[in-house]
Chains A and B, each alone.
Chain A
Amino acid sequence: FYLTPSQVNSILKANEYSFKVPEFDGKNVSSVLGFDSNQLPANAPIEDRRSAATCLQTRGMLLGVFDGHAGCACAQAVSERLFYYIAVSLLPHETLLEIENAVESGRALLPILQWHKHPNDYFSKEASKLYFNSLRTYWQELIDLNSGETTDVREALINAFKRLDNDISLEAQVGDPNSFLNYLVLRVAFSGATACVAHVDGVDLHIANTGDSRAMLGVQEEDGSWSAVNLSYDHNAQNEHEVERVKMEHPKSEEKSLVKQDRLLGLLMPFRAFGDVKFKWSIELQKRVIESGPDQLNDNEYTKFIPPNYHTPPYLTAEPEVIHHKLRPQDKFLVLATDGLWETMHRQDVARIVGEYLTGVHHQQPIAVGGYKVTLGQMHGLLTERRARISSVFEDQNAATHLIRHAVGNNEFGTVDHERLSKMLSLPEELARMYRDDITIIVVQFNSHVIGAYQNEE
């Protein structure tokens, strides 16, 4: 039993989304041309989330991928809320005042973000009031703190990450009179999520990363070939600096128990994450909250279970590592993806596949016979092979979809094998997670002309 190519396509394309930055007077003046994104679930339901939005009160565009664990609640909450925290952190004092005054007097609020969402990307209606109140508290504090200084993007990103994680933690401690919301905030806090967020404003690209999702820049070399530049570091056991950091933060006595089997306290793969209060709260706090919490929470063995060797919490932080990169004309695209992609593909291959896809076949080296001895049959074989490569490119209108097709369907020769693709996609739900992880990808395409113009101005 095999899926037909069109069945495969309908599975691969179910979640694809593309956004093109609108042009004015036939010109796109943004450094971003647009982006393609897509998700392929392995978990049911999928635990990955993605977000993309344009900042309306400041310049720039925000894009992020979020990989949830122990359920999708935390990833969902972060995908809804984080960009608001970032946007608010970036706002100048006057705008914050204006917004606060509007809320105070019941006037219409200035829109802060313009979201670019796939229909499947939902926002929780029930929690919006709660989330809004937390956010408002945040900006009120920012107003009171008015430092008078212009906002630094790096600082804004770090503050926003930390603040949101703090709010998630607080909301769970305080609880909510509404039993549905009460359960929701607890699920958010007890589950976890990593986040990899890009902020693009002109040639300034900031990547804020918490956890093991990854940001990668696709660079076209002068000879037309593609290379990959990492713009984030994975926060996991493979990252020596991370292991070092965790060890520094805890007494020497815990050194051996901190990282076991490449996991934090032998349990958690990412070394940084949102939520996961089991790795952040004291044992007393955890017990108190669980006891006073709803029965569903009490019945859940996982939440009740305290990690072993749990002596000096917190063991986990949501603080991101921020990397700043000045975009150059040769920087053609950015890939943000959850670890589901990076487990299966090397970044160099990712750079090549996306690069070749975005530039189309036009940049494929033309064949010239020249003085060589080529027979009709040889030429025929060569052309047939090239066409097969091209046709797999043209099947997709979305770079992220194209990448997923390769990630799931690549054979040992690096070309998409339909049989393999079909098998991987028709795995039953319970088996799928064993062969692959949720994959979420955003491919941002840069506008080399605009970037080049910026460069010339400087």
Chain B
Amino acid sequence: AARMFLRLLSDIQWRAAHPKWRRMTNSQRGTSTTAEPHPVSLPAQAQVVICGGGIMGTSVAYHLSKMGWKDIVLLEQGRLAAGTTRFCAGIVSTARPVSVELKMAHYSNKLYQQLEQETGVQTGYMKTGSISLAQTQDRLISLKRIASSLNVMGIPCEIISPKKVLQLHPLINIHDLVGAMYVPEDALVSSANVSLALATAASQNGVQIHERTSVSHVTIQKGRVTGVETDRGRIQCEYFVNCAGQWAYELGHSGEEPVHIPLHACEHFYLLTHPLKEPLSSSLPTVVDPDGRIYIRNWQGGILSGGFEKNPKPLFTEGRNQLEIQNLQEDWDHFGPLLDALLRRMPGLEALQIMQLVNCPESFTPDMRCIMGESPTARGYFVLAGMNSAGISYGGGAGKYLAEWIVNGYPSENVWPLDLKRFGTLQSSRTFLRHRVMEVMPLMCDLKVPRWDFQTGRQLRTSPLYDRLDAQGARWMEKHGFERVKYFVPPGSDLLDLDHSKTFYKPDWFDIVGSEVKCCKEAVCVIDMSSFTKFEISSTGDQALESLQYLFSNDLDVPVGHVVHTGMLNEKGGYENDCSIARLSKRSFFMISPTDQQVHCWTWLKNHLPDDSNLVVEDVTWKYTALNLIGPRAVDVLSELSYAPMTAEHFPSLFCKEMSVGYANGIRVMSITHTGEPGFVLYIPIEYALHVYNEVMNMGQKYGIRNAGYYALRSLRIEKFFAFWGQDLDAFTTPMECGREFQVKLDKGMQFLGQEALWEQKQNGVYKRFTMFILEDHDTDMDLWPWWGEPIYRNGRYVGKTTSSAYSYTLERHVCLGFVHHFDEKTGEELVVTTDFINQGEYEIDIAGQRFQAKAKLYPFSSLFTQRRRKDEVELSGYQRE
């Protein structure tokens, strides 16, 4: 039955068109499933070996070969496009909330459109458009937000009324709809045929494709891929690409050195019907009804409808490999709720006859985003998998980015949100994955609101103070597996439960965070910031200093005890990391980076530091608990606890010193707070954490000390125009573009990474500029809140997008941070952005289609600073992402 299905989806005889390819593989597709002798033996070596003949593997092969790489072998354990790809519903949809995903989908759509012409293989491409329905106002808001970002990308898209929905699709029951989004250029394809077309083009470009060849493991020597072992022998290679779909996890674990690829399969069901009496037109738009958790597309005169149920069925947890996905059990009882939703949406289909319920496993990832990039432990080992059931939409774009990554060292877009290195080994626990994907799959249809936290797989990494803080009303969020406090709910006050707290408007914790911010401004607060990534770099001689001087743009040759904020830049001057480095001694440094840098930064250092046994890098993240004492009275608390003067004369800003706090000795105190407010961060060896915390709280009582959380920190930081890495800063942003020239020492007397690019920018100017916007006519209580990703308009023209936002309790206004570009009015070409260009414009921020006036600023409000400081001491650093 499974094979029959392939025939149903692929109407073409692609082999006939390409006899050459047929000779190479010589597998009798569709006529026999028994293994046959392989006439073409495997090559002994290749530059690139790709494992997996689904949409991902073929797309990577296609793009690599397009970029001129020829020495490529693609291995498929079964037959091409026989896994998830074969069963994919074939909907190419560009309506994606994450910008890079949207770009991938947009590219895929354009690629598939011309693929048939390019290869002669029928792909079934049909531009039908798609309609996303909203049953609630909140859903409509989320659609409007997507529509805003589609429009600025030049993708046609409109918000339409229920009446218009009916005109586009006569079968839809519109009585419970409040509106919809129409994307006319979305398309349908036969995903198996797209995959075969890509394979055909790749093989024409010289890629060797071998079916019925399974990779048993990848060999790695000295941290580099050296080859793959298959059931048909060994292939030596420089690059290996794991596109094994649901088996990517197992394949990653099959070798001696595991590569952790956190994904897990869930069953996914969709329904096929016989044609209607009056067969549906093949150009009828695809319908997505997220509130009903279903999608419906036309299929051979009938429909194809599936969905994402609330109670998914994870499978293959024990890691069973299968050559091809045979027909899994159809489970009608499980599909029941989705069938309810289908018939509620299209009551006229009651009499339509069922053809089949297809059960097609899909792989899901811990954060709903796909996985691509190079393994942090094995150079040359690339991964592209975990598509969260959007494989056909992402296939083209994802393959292109990965091919660029392999050929150029990095893709043409910022793909950090998809980078394998955003995960650590901790997300690779099977139990964690099983539990998390059961939460992730229903989320495909859930409303995506700001400040949303996963509920499963929690309480994994915690600070030693976790229980103490929890008992005091802490509400938690998770970052890289680490529990961090959002805010503290005062005793007696009640917040909404999780489901009801979802909102695009003013959240229920508004006043709670407000009072925490006030306490930071007027007294002193303590925030547990233990999750930060902490490295120690030391050497016997000057190696540490010399290497770091090369890797960081600021001058690290500072007196012992000084703290330096600096970017860790790539060749193009873009931020790979943004950190604070304290010089502990002549030969050792303490480096603090954002929480999710743990894997990425480690890999970067390992790949760039000289292989010198006298130079030691140690990850000491787990060794220290960090307490951030923010506020004007922090100095009093600390001096009383340490019997040491802590005033600015004795302990200037950006300074680091080991001292005693209470009974505990060896506490590393730094005069930074990551907010621009006065105060200190205490790095406490974990066994002292509880003691120091208790001492601080007891002593702090008379100064009005209280606990605070990350939301307060965020508000403080954003109102000070502090950018943070991963949210505002990425590998495509340089210090010059975000007003941080003062953290770059071009003349520090030695070369450093990115120096040339920065020189160039210094001379020629920048093409985008990080800008702060204060919303003017925005009503905090009544209007939609900004989040990030909102389009910025200058004099009515689109100039860029916001990257983060927060309510400033000091300004009593919303602050958005974002990048302003200068597009030529006629050609659209990017021009240099000057200070005058920024200053001489009227700005508006588009929140879900509604525009608010905004005042642009290139420098923070100086009046907000409570203490006068030297300009280069001003702390411009912040790490937290939402």
Contacts and interface: CB of A to CB of B under 8 A. Distances in A.
A374 B354 contact: yes
Contacts of B351: 375-377
B395 to A, nearest CB: 31
Interface in A355-390: 361, 364, 366-369, 373-377, 379-380, 382-384, 386-387, 390
B319 interface: no
A363 to B, nearest CB: 12
Contacts of A364: 333
B356 interface: yes
Contacts of A383: 332-333, 335-336, 339
A367 B353 contact: no
A443 B355 CA distance: 43
B333 A369 contact: no
A377 B343 contact: yes
Interface in A380-403: 380, 382-384, 386-387, 390
Contact of B350 (A376, A382, A386): A376
Among A366, A379, A390, residue most surrounded by chain B Cβ atoms (within 10 Å): A379
Contacts of A367: 330, 332-333
A134 to B, nearest CB: 55
A374 B333 contact: no
A379 B329 contact: no
B8 to A, nearest CB: 15
B686 interface: no
Given A369-B356, A380-B339, A383-B339, A375 B350 contact: yes
A377 B355 CA distance: 13
A384 B343 CA distance: 13
Contact of B330 (A369, A373, A380): A369
A414 to B, nearest CB: 20
A294 to B, nearest CB: 58
A375 B333 contact: no
Question: What's the dominant secondary structure at chain B's contact region?
Answer: mixed
A366 B271 CA distance: 16
Given A376-B273, A376-B339, A379-B339, A366 B332 contact: yes
Nearest to B347: A377
Contact of B343 (A361, A374, A380): A380
Given A376-B273, A379-B339, A380-B343, A386 B333 contact: yes
B331 interface: yes
Given A366-B329, A366-B331, A380-B343, A375 B353 contact: yes
Contacts of B833: none
B100 interface: no
Given A366-B329, A366-B331, A367-B332, A377 B357 contact: no
With most chain A CB atoms within 10 A of its CB, the pick from B331, B336, B357 is B336
Interface string A68-111: 00000000000000000000000000000000000000000000
Interface string B340-371: 10110000011111111100000000000000
Contact of A366 (B333, B354, B355): B333
Nearest to A373: B353
A382 B332 CA distance: 10
Interface residues of B, number: 22
A361 B352 contact: no
Contact of A376 (B329, B330, B354): B354
A376 B343 contact: yes
Interface string B305-342: 00000000000000000000000011111011001101
A104 B299 CA distance: 88
A374 B350 CA distance: 10
B333 A376 contact: no
B461 to A, nearest CB: 29
A369 B354 CA distance: 8
Contacts of A361: 333
B332 A379 contact: yes
Contacts of B273: 376
Contacts of A386: 333, 336
B270 to A, nearest CB: 13
Contacts of A382: 332
A375 B339 contact: no
A392 to B, nearest CB: 15
A375 B352 CA distance: 5
A125 B273 CA distance: 70
Contacts of B339: 376, 379-380, 383
A390 B334 CA distance: 12
Interface in B379-412: none
Interface in B607-654: none
A368 B333 contact: no
Contacts of A384: 336, 340
Contacts of B331: 366
A390 B357 CA distance: 21
Interface in B419-473: none
Contact of A368 (B330, B340, B342, B343): B330
A373 B273 CA distance: 11
A380 B340 CA distance: 7
Nearest to A364: B333
A375 B354 contact: yes
Nearest to A367: B332
A97 to B, nearest CB: 54
Given A369-B356, A369-B357, A380 B333 contact: no
A361 B333 CA distance: 10
A382 B329 CA distance: 18
A364 B332 CA distance: 12
Contacts of A369: 330, 332, 354-357
A374 B274 CA distance: 10
Contacts of B354: 369, 374-376, 379
B309 to A, nearest CB: 13
Specify which of B331, B335, B349, B353 lies most central, judged by the most chain A CB atoms within 10 Å of its CB.
B353
A62 B351 CA distance: 57
A194 to B, nearest CB: 43
B336 A387 contact: yes
Given A376-B342, A380-B343, A387 B333 contact: yes
Interface string A251-289: 000000000000000000000000000000000000000
A374 B356 CA distance: 10
A232 B342 CA distance: 53
A46 B663 CA distance: 67
Given A380-B340, A380-B343, A387-B336, A374 B329 contact: no
Contacts of B342: 376
Interface string B247-273: 000000000000000000000000101
B364 to A, nearest CB: 24
A24 B354 CA distance: 50
A366 B273 CA distance: 20
Contacts of B355: 369
Nearest to B329: A366
Contacts of A379: 332, 339, 354
Interface in A334-374: 361, 364, 366-369, 373-374
Interface string A119-161: 0000000000000000000000000000000000000000000
A382 B350 CA distance: 13
A362 to B, nearest CB: 10
Nearest to A361: B333
A377 to B, nearest CB: 3
Q: B329, B350, B355, B357 — which one has the most chain A CB atoms within 10 A of its CB?
A: B350
> Which 8 A-B pairs give the minimum distances between C-beta atoms?
A377-B350, A383-B336, A367-B332, A374-B354, A376-B352, A369-B354, A375-B351, A376-B349
6 contacts: A369-B356, A376-B271, A376-B351, A383-B332, A383-B335, A384-B340
Given A368-B332, A380-B340, A390-B333, 13 more contacts: A364-B333, A366-B332, A369-B330, A369-B356, A376-B342, A376-B343, A376-B352, A376-B353, A380-B339, A380-B350, A384-B340, A386-B333, A386-B336
Interface of A: 361, 364, 366-369, 373-377, 379-380, 382-384, 386-387, 390
